[in-house]
């Protein structure tokens, strides 16, 4: 098993034992390893999905500790990175397509989070516009 997978497993075990510090450490280490691996192989979808998952685990960790601001930040990190890849002129088309497909994976948790935690009207409007745009682009692809 890869080191990042062990870290995620250990983080999940620590999370379930409510050992928050250890879970945070494991998840952050996993994101670091995955970031390095995916940067070297940007066409590897499982690595990207695992990286996103590790950040989402960090978000959940802080949400259960009643820190929604930090939890949201850990949802936004992968979402903003995927968005930046989609809009980059320096990225190959295949990697951009992978990033475009990952947008739904990064966006839907943010949308669900907004239903659990109040956000300002401007943020809510931005989420709705992004959701509508995402759905419109999905229809074009099919």
Structural domain boundaries of the chain?
Answer: 3-141
Q: What is the pLDDT of residue 56?
A: 98
Average pLDDT over residues 48-62: 97
Q: What is the pLDDT of residue 118?
A: 82
Q: What is the pLDDT of residue 140?
A: 47
Q: What is the pLDDT of residue 141?
A: 46
Q: Which CATH number fits domain 3-141: 1.10.287, 1.25.40, 1.10.3470, 3.40.50?
A: 1.25.40
* 141 token code pair: 């692809």
CB 38 within 8 A of CB 47: yes
* 122 token code pair: 């401007």
What's this model's pTM, rounded to 2 decimal places?
Answer: 0.86
The whole-angstrom separation of Cα 72 and Cα 103 is 16
Average pLDDT over residues 5-34: 98
pLDDT > 70 in the chain, percent: 90
The pLDDT tens digits for 76-120 are: 999 999 999 988 998 899 999 999 999 989 999 998 998 898 877
Query: How confident is residue 31, by pLDDT bands cut at 50, 70 and 90?
Result: very high
The whole-angstrom separation of Cα 67 and Cα 132 is 28
Q: Name which of 139, 72, 80 is nearest 109 in CA terms.
A: 72
Q: What is the pLDDT of residue 34?
A: 97
Query: How confident is residue 138, by pLDDT bands cut at 50, 70 and 90?
Result: low
Assign 53 to helix, strand or coil.
helix
The whole-angstrom separation of Cα 56 and Cα 71 is 8
């Amino acid at each position: 098993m890869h080191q990042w997978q062990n870290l995620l497993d250990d983080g999940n075990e620590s999370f379930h034992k409510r050992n928050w510090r250890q879970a945070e450490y494991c998840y952050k280490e996993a994101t670091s390893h995955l970031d390095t691996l995916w940067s070297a192989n940007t066409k590897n979808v499982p690595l990207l999905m695992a990286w996103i998952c590790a950040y989402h685990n960090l978000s959940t960790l802080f949400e259960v500790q009643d820190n929604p601001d930090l939890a949201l930040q850990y949802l936004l990190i992968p979402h903003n990175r995927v968005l930046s890849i989609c809009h980059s002129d320096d990225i190959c088309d295949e990697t951009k397509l992978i990033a475009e497909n990952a947008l739904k994976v990064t966006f839907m948790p943010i949308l669900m989070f907004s239903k659990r935690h109040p956000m300002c009207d401007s943020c809510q409007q931005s989420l709705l516009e992004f959701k509508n745009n995402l759905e419109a682009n999905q229809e074009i692809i099919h």
